[in-house]
Amino acid sequence: MIAALVGDPARANMLMALMTGRALTASELAVEAGITPQTASSHLSKLEAGGLLEQEKQGRHRYYRLSDPDVAGLLEGLEGVAARAGHMRVRTGPKDPALRHARICYDHLAGDLGVQMLDSMKKQRLLRQSKQAIELTVEGKRFLADSLQISAETLTHPRRPLCKACLDWSERRHHLAGTLGAAMMTRFTELKWAARDTTPGSRVVNFSRTGEKRFAALFGDAE
């Protein structure tokens, strides 16, 4: 059932538009999918019934978002399959290299820098990974508190793991998801190391020159 829901081009386009982590209205999603609002409403009902979307009413408007981060992980993985099979829907242009360098994957960092960060944290023994299971070490907790002022104890969530491997579609390796991945992306923004591209629908994350240097100081190339 999930494959059928995601396999429809219009529904796939709407889901990918929500990978920015922002909630969108049915009208905005209709534009993303290139369909009429009436058709979009039918598709959204199916996606909601299938557990992929949830909606929130605010005044006269209804906003849709992905139902949880696991849906984002599923979509990111499917992008990788599509890329390998030559069926990737890519908006080519000058932003494509930027998208591959650093982008938002729902609420955490993806792309080359996201993969580099996870690789570096494993090399520094801040994280331990066995397949998709990732564990934060004692050294990792200390590092987060000292370097980024992040307390791991505050990141527990009843429905979401602290650390999770998310398969990166452009790098075809894992980047860090979970509440820790989200908290680190938030911290990079708070420190003004990075900022989201303000273009509607863009997933690009732009690091400042200073921000990228400080990021590299913590998570230098793990190769």
Kindly indicate the confidence band of residue 130, based on its pLDDT and cuts at 50, 70 and 90. Answer: confident
Instruction: Give the residue from 212, 159, 210, 161 showing the smallest Cα distance to 183.
Output: 161
CATH 3.40.109.10 at 2-67, yes or no: no
**DSSP secondary structure of 119-179:** HHHHHTTSEEEETTEEEE-HHHHHHIIIII---GGGG-BTTB-S-EEEE-TTTSSEEEEHH
* 3-state DSSP assignment of residue 31: helix
Is 0.75 topped by the overall pTM?
Answer: yes
Give the residue extent of every domain in the chain. 2-67, 71-218
For 81-121, the pLDDT digits (tens) are 655 545 445 444 445 889 999 999 999 999 999 999 999 99
